[in-house]
Structure 1
Amino acid sequence: MRILFTIAALFFLANTNLVYSQCREFAKNDCKPLLENYIHDGNYNGIVLNVDEDVELHKAFFKGQKYRLVVCKEDFLPSIHFKLLNSDFEVLYDNKDSGYNNKYDFELEESQTIIISMKFMTENKVYDKSMNGCVVVLFGLEMK
Protein backbone atom coordinates (compact mmCIF):
# COMPACT_ATOMS: atom_id res chain seq x y z
CA MET A 1 0.00 0.00 0.00
CA ARG A 2 2.81 2.39 0.88
CA ILE A 3 4.52 1.69 -2.45
CA LEU A 4 1.30 2.38 -4.34
CA PHE A 5 0.88 5.71 -2.50
CA THR A 6 4.52 6.65 -3.25
CA ILE A 7 4.07 5.85 -6.96
CA ALA A 8 0.84 7.88 -7.09
CA ALA A 9 2.52 10.85 -5.37
CA LEU A 10 5.48 10.75 -7.76
CA PHE A 11 3.13 10.58 -10.74
CA PHE A 12 1.19 13.61 -9.47
CA LEU A 13 4.39 15.63 -8.89
CA ALA A 14 5.77 14.70 -12.31
CA ASN A 15 2.53 15.78 -14.04
CA THR A 16 2.37 19.03 -12.04
CA ASN A 17 5.95 19.90 -13.01
CA LEU A 18 5.26 18.98 -16.64
CA VAL A 19 2.19 21.26 -16.82
CA TYR A 20 4.07 24.09 -15.08
CA SER A 21 7.00 23.64 -17.45
CA GLN A 22 4.74 23.65 -20.52
CA CYS A 23 2.98 26.81 -19.31
CA ARG A 24 6.34 28.50 -18.68
CA GLU A 25 7.55 27.63 -22.18
CA PHE A 26 4.28 28.98 -23.61
CA ALA A 27 4.89 32.24 -21.71
CA LYS A 28 8.42 32.59 -23.06
CA ASN A 29 7.66 31.63 -26.65
CA ASP A 30 4.18 33.01 -27.27
CA CYS A 31 3.48 35.72 -24.68
CA LYS A 32 6.76 37.50 -24.01
CA PRO A 33 7.07 38.75 -27.63
CA LEU A 34 3.79 40.69 -27.07
CA LEU A 35 5.71 42.98 -24.70
CA GLU A 36 7.49 44.28 -27.84
CA ASN A 37 9.80 47.18 -26.82
CA TYR A 38 8.86 46.96 -23.12
CA ILE A 39 11.38 45.21 -20.86
CA HIS A 40 9.97 42.15 -19.07
CA ASP A 41 9.98 42.68 -15.30
CA GLY A 42 11.31 39.13 -14.80
CA ASN A 43 8.21 37.79 -13.10
CA TYR A 44 6.33 34.88 -14.58
CA ASN A 45 2.62 34.86 -13.66
CA GLY A 46 1.12 31.77 -15.23
CA ILE A 47 -1.58 29.34 -14.21
CA VAL A 48 -3.49 26.44 -15.66
CA LEU A 49 -7.00 27.84 -15.39
CA ASN A 50 -10.34 26.05 -15.74
CA VAL A 51 -13.00 27.65 -17.95
CA ASP A 52 -15.38 28.28 -15.04
CA GLU A 53 -12.79 29.89 -12.73
CA ASP A 54 -12.07 33.55 -12.01
CA VAL A 55 -8.66 34.68 -10.82
CA GLU A 56 -7.11 37.82 -9.33
CA LEU A 57 -3.51 38.98 -9.26
CA HIS A 58 -2.37 41.77 -6.93
CA LYS A 59 0.73 43.73 -7.95
CA ALA A 60 2.46 46.94 -6.88
CA PHE A 61 3.03 49.62 -9.52
CA PHE A 62 5.02 52.83 -9.15
CA LYS A 63 4.31 56.44 -10.05
CA GLY A 64 6.02 57.75 -13.16
CA GLN A 65 6.77 54.35 -14.71
CA LYS A 66 5.12 53.29 -17.96
CA TYR A 67 3.90 49.69 -18.00
CA ARG A 68 2.55 47.19 -20.47
CA LEU A 69 0.25 44.44 -19.22
CA VAL A 70 -0.12 41.34 -21.42
CA VAL A 71 -2.76 38.70 -20.72
CA CYS A 72 -2.07 35.71 -22.93
CA LYS A 73 -3.90 32.39 -23.30
CA GLU A 74 -3.60 29.26 -25.36
CA ASP A 75 -5.42 29.54 -28.72
CA PHE A 76 -8.08 26.91 -28.01
CA LEU A 77 -9.33 28.75 -24.91
CA PRO A 78 -12.12 31.36 -24.93
CA SER A 79 -11.20 35.05 -24.82
CA ILE A 80 -10.28 36.56 -21.48
CA HIS A 81 -12.10 39.47 -19.87
CA PHE A 82 -9.77 41.37 -17.55
CA LYS A 83 -10.07 44.49 -15.44
CA LEU A 84 -7.61 46.61 -13.50
CA LEU A 85 -9.00 47.72 -10.13
CA ASN A 86 -7.57 49.91 -7.40
CA SER A 87 -7.64 48.93 -3.71
CA ASP A 88 -11.15 50.43 -3.40
CA PHE A 89 -12.27 48.08 -6.22
CA GLU A 90 -12.86 51.00 -8.60
CA VAL A 91 -12.34 49.96 -12.23
CA LEU A 92 -9.33 51.70 -13.77
CA TYR A 93 -9.46 49.74 -17.04
CA ASP A 94 -11.77 47.13 -18.54
CA ASN A 95 -10.63 45.35 -21.71
CA LYS A 96 -14.31 44.94 -22.64
CA ASP A 97 -14.20 48.62 -23.68
CA SER A 98 -11.45 47.88 -26.23
CA GLY A 99 -12.82 44.70 -27.80
CA TYR A 100 -11.20 42.38 -25.24
CA ASN A 101 -7.70 43.41 -26.27
CA ASN A 102 -4.99 41.29 -24.64
CA LYS A 103 -2.58 44.12 -23.79
CA TYR A 104 -2.81 47.46 -22.07
CA ASP A 105 -0.26 50.27 -21.71
CA PHE A 106 -0.57 52.56 -18.71
CA GLU A 107 1.10 54.92 -16.27
CA LEU A 108 -0.19 55.71 -12.79
CA GLU A 109 -0.34 59.10 -11.11
CA GLU A 110 0.54 57.54 -7.76
CA SER A 111 2.20 54.33 -6.59
CA GLN A 112 -0.35 51.72 -5.61
CA THR A 113 -1.30 48.07 -5.61
CA ILE A 114 -3.50 47.15 -8.55
CA ILE A 115 -5.80 44.13 -8.78
CA ILE A 116 -5.93 42.37 -12.14
CA SER A 117 -9.19 40.41 -12.26
CA MET A 118 -9.61 37.82 -15.04
CA LYS A 119 -12.21 35.38 -16.27
CA PHE A 120 -12.97 33.57 -19.50
CA MET A 121 -15.64 34.94 -21.82
CA THR A 122 -18.12 32.07 -21.98
CA GLU A 123 -21.47 33.89 -22.21
CA ASN A 124 -22.10 33.33 -25.92
CA LYS A 125 -20.76 29.76 -26.22
CA VAL A 126 -21.00 26.54 -24.29
CA TYR A 127 -17.68 25.16 -23.10
CA ASP A 128 -16.85 21.98 -21.26
CA LYS A 129 -16.46 23.06 -17.61
CA SER A 130 -13.48 20.73 -17.26
CA MET A 131 -11.58 22.45 -20.10
CA ASN A 132 -8.47 24.21 -18.93
CA GLY A 133 -5.31 25.72 -20.29
CA CYS A 134 -2.42 28.02 -19.67
CA VAL A 135 -3.11 31.70 -18.94
CA VAL A 136 -0.15 34.03 -18.52
CA VAL A 137 0.08 37.59 -17.25
CA LEU A 138 3.27 39.48 -18.02
CA PHE A 139 4.35 43.00 -17.17
CA GLY A 140 6.82 45.12 -19.08
CA LEU A 141 8.50 48.41 -18.25
CA GLU A 142 9.20 51.15 -20.76
CA MET A 143 12.83 52.18 -20.52
CA LYS A 144 13.44 55.92 -20.81
Structure 2
Amino acid sequence: MRSSIYILVSAVVLFLALPSSSNAQCKNFAKKICRLELSPYVHDGNYNAAILTEGEDAELFKTFYAGQQYRISVCGSETLSKIEFMVMDVDRKVLYTNAKNNFATSWDFKVENTQQLIILVKVPVSSGKNEELKSGCVAIMFGLKTD
Protein backbone atom coordinates (compact mmCIF):
# COMPACT_ATOMS: atom_id res chain seq x y z
CA MET A 1 0.00 0.00 0.00
CA ARG A 2 2.77 2.44 0.94
CA SER A 3 4.68 1.74 -2.28
CA SER A 4 1.63 2.47 -4.44
CA ILE A 5 1.07 5.78 -2.61
CA TYR A 6 4.76 6.62 -3.11
CA ILE A 7 4.48 5.82 -6.82
CA LEU A 8 1.32 7.92 -7.13
CA VAL A 9 2.89 10.91 -5.35
CA SER A 10 6.05 10.59 -7.47
CA ALA A 11 4.00 10.48 -10.66
CA VAL A 12 2.04 13.60 -9.66
CA VAL A 13 5.24 15.51 -8.82
CA LEU A 14 6.80 14.48 -12.14
CA PHE A 15 3.63 15.42 -14.02
CA LEU A 16 3.59 18.88 -12.42
CA ALA A 17 7.31 19.48 -13.02
CA LEU A 18 7.37 18.63 -16.73
CA PRO A 19 4.95 21.30 -17.99
CA SER A 20 6.78 24.05 -16.11
CA SER A 21 10.03 23.01 -17.75
CA SER A 22 8.54 23.01 -21.25
CA ASN A 23 6.64 26.24 -20.54
CA ALA A 24 9.92 27.87 -19.50
CA GLN A 25 11.46 26.80 -22.80
CA CYS A 26 8.40 28.12 -24.61
CA LYS A 27 8.70 31.47 -22.83
CA ASN A 28 12.35 31.66 -23.88
CA PHE A 29 11.30 30.93 -27.48
CA ALA A 30 8.83 33.83 -27.24
CA LYS A 31 11.53 36.15 -25.86
CA LYS A 32 14.26 35.27 -28.34
CA ILE A 33 12.32 34.65 -31.56
CA CYS A 34 8.78 36.01 -31.45
CA ARG A 35 9.46 39.36 -29.81
CA LEU A 36 11.57 40.36 -32.82
CA GLU A 37 8.48 40.20 -35.03
CA LEU A 38 6.91 43.14 -33.15
CA SER A 39 9.45 45.67 -34.39
CA PRO A 40 9.05 48.66 -34.77
CA TYR A 41 6.23 48.36 -32.20
CA VAL A 42 7.20 48.34 -28.51
CA HIS A 43 6.59 45.03 -26.73
CA ASP A 44 4.11 45.27 -23.86
CA GLY A 45 6.35 43.19 -21.57
CA ASN A 46 4.12 40.09 -21.41
CA TYR A 47 5.11 36.71 -22.82
CA ASN A 48 2.01 34.69 -23.61
CA ALA A 49 3.17 31.29 -24.79
CA ALA A 50 2.11 27.67 -24.46
CA ILE A 51 2.78 24.26 -25.94
CA LEU A 52 -0.06 23.32 -28.30
CA THR A 53 -0.67 20.15 -30.29
CA GLU A 54 -2.28 19.99 -33.71
CA GLY A 55 -6.04 20.27 -33.30
CA GLU A 56 -5.80 22.33 -30.11
CA ASP A 57 -6.70 25.97 -29.59
CA ALA A 58 -6.23 28.56 -26.87
CA GLU A 59 -7.88 31.87 -26.01
CA LEU A 60 -6.45 34.99 -24.48
CA PHE A 61 -8.46 37.99 -23.25
CA LYS A 62 -6.78 41.39 -23.42
CA THR A 63 -7.88 45.00 -22.95
CA PHE A 64 -6.98 47.44 -25.71
CA TYR A 65 -7.17 51.19 -25.10
CA ALA A 66 -8.85 53.84 -27.25
CA GLY A 67 -6.70 55.74 -29.70
CA GLN A 68 -3.73 53.34 -29.46
CA GLN A 69 -2.21 51.52 -32.40
CA TYR A 70 -1.34 47.86 -31.77
CA ARG A 71 0.34 44.91 -33.41
CA ILE A 72 -0.63 41.36 -32.54
CA SER A 73 1.96 38.81 -33.57
CA VAL A 74 1.47 35.06 -33.38
CA CYS A 75 4.49 32.87 -33.79
CA GLY A 76 5.01 29.14 -33.59
CA SER A 77 7.91 26.76 -33.48
CA GLU A 78 9.12 25.20 -36.72
CA THR A 79 7.38 21.89 -36.01
CA LEU A 80 4.01 23.56 -36.60
CA SER A 81 3.34 24.39 -40.24
CA LYS A 82 0.79 27.17 -39.79
CA ILE A 83 -1.12 28.77 -36.97
CA GLU A 84 -4.52 30.37 -37.34
CA PHE A 85 -5.49 33.30 -35.17
CA MET A 86 -8.68 35.28 -34.81
CA VAL A 87 -9.44 38.49 -32.98
CA MET A 88 -12.99 38.71 -31.67
CA ASP A 89 -14.99 41.13 -29.58
CA VAL A 90 -16.67 39.98 -26.35
CA ASP A 91 -19.75 38.94 -28.35
CA ARG A 92 -17.44 36.65 -30.35
CA LYS A 93 -17.89 38.66 -33.56
CA VAL A 94 -14.76 38.01 -35.63
CA LEU A 95 -12.89 41.27 -36.29
CA TYR A 96 -9.91 39.65 -37.99
CA THR A 97 -8.77 36.21 -39.03
CA ASN A 98 -5.42 35.46 -40.58
CA ALA A 99 -6.96 32.46 -42.38
CA LYS A 100 -8.33 34.96 -44.92
CA ASN A 101 -4.89 36.59 -45.21
CA ASN A 102 -2.63 33.67 -46.14
CA PHE A 103 -2.00 32.89 -42.44
CA ALA A 104 -0.18 36.18 -41.82
CA THR A 105 1.73 36.15 -38.54
CA SER A 106 0.77 39.66 -37.45
CA TRP A 107 -2.03 42.21 -37.61
CA ASP A 108 -1.78 45.97 -37.07
CA PHE A 109 -4.87 47.86 -35.91
CA LYS A 110 -6.14 50.86 -33.99
CA VAL A 111 -9.06 50.74 -31.57
CA GLU A 112 -11.64 53.52 -31.44
CA ASN A 113 -12.95 52.62 -27.97
CA THR A 114 -11.32 50.92 -25.01
CA GLN A 115 -12.48 47.31 -25.12
CA GLN A 116 -11.60 43.78 -24.23
CA LEU A 117 -10.85 41.51 -27.17
CA ILE A 118 -10.43 37.76 -27.42
CA ILE A 119 -7.47 36.34 -29.32
CA LEU A 120 -8.04 32.73 -30.35
CA VAL A 121 -5.16 30.68 -31.73
CA LYS A 122 -5.68 27.32 -33.42
CA VAL A 123 -3.15 24.79 -34.59
CA PRO A 124 -4.73 23.02 -37.57
CA VAL A 125 -4.12 19.31 -38.07
CA SER A 126 -1.70 18.73 -40.94
CA SER A 127 -3.11 17.00 -43.98
CA GLY A 128 -0.77 13.99 -43.81
CA LYS A 129 -2.61 10.79 -42.92
CA ASN A 130 -1.25 8.30 -40.39
CA GLU A 131 1.15 10.90 -39.02
CA GLU A 132 1.67 11.53 -35.37
CA LEU A 133 0.23 14.84 -34.15
CA LYS A 134 2.91 17.50 -33.83
CA SER A 135 3.32 19.80 -30.83
CA GLY A 136 5.16 23.05 -30.49
CA CYS A 137 5.36 26.40 -28.81
CA VAL A 138 2.84 29.05 -29.83
CA ALA A 139 3.30 32.63 -28.62
CA ILE A 140 0.96 35.61 -28.80
CA MET A 141 2.81 38.91 -28.52
CA PHE A 142 1.47 42.44 -28.31
CA GLY A 143 3.16 45.63 -29.40
CA LEU A 144 2.21 49.28 -29.04
CA LYS A 145 3.15 51.93 -31.59
CA THR A 146 4.95 54.93 -30.17
CA ASP A 147 5.59 57.86 -32.48
- The aligned counterpart of 1:93 is 96
Unaligned runs of 5+ in 2: none
Aligned residues: 144
Moved more, 61-70 or 124-133: 124-133
Taking structure 1 as the reference length, the TM-score comes to: 0.89
> Does structure 1 retain, via aligned residues, the 8 Å contact 2:73–2:107?
yes
Residue 59 of structure 1: which of 59, 62, 74 is its match?
62
Rg larger in structure: 2
Aligned counterparts of 1:52 and 1:128: Cα–Cα separation in 2: 13
> Does structure 1 retain, via aligned residues, the 8 Å contact 2:87–2:97?
yes
Aligned counterparts of 1:108 and 1:97: Cα–Cα separation in 2: 21
Taking structure 2 as the reference length, the TM-score comes to: 0.87
Aligned counterparts of 2:54 and 2:9: Cα–Cα separation in 1: 31
Unaligned runs of 5+ in 1: none
User: What letter is aligned with 2:43?
Assistant: H
Please report the RMSD computed on the Cα atoms of aligned residues, expressed in angstroms: 1.8
Residue 36 of structure 2: which of 22, 33, 36 is its match?
33
Aligned counterparts of 1:61 and 1:87: Cα–Cα separation in 2: 12
User: What letter is aligned with 1:23?
Assistant: C
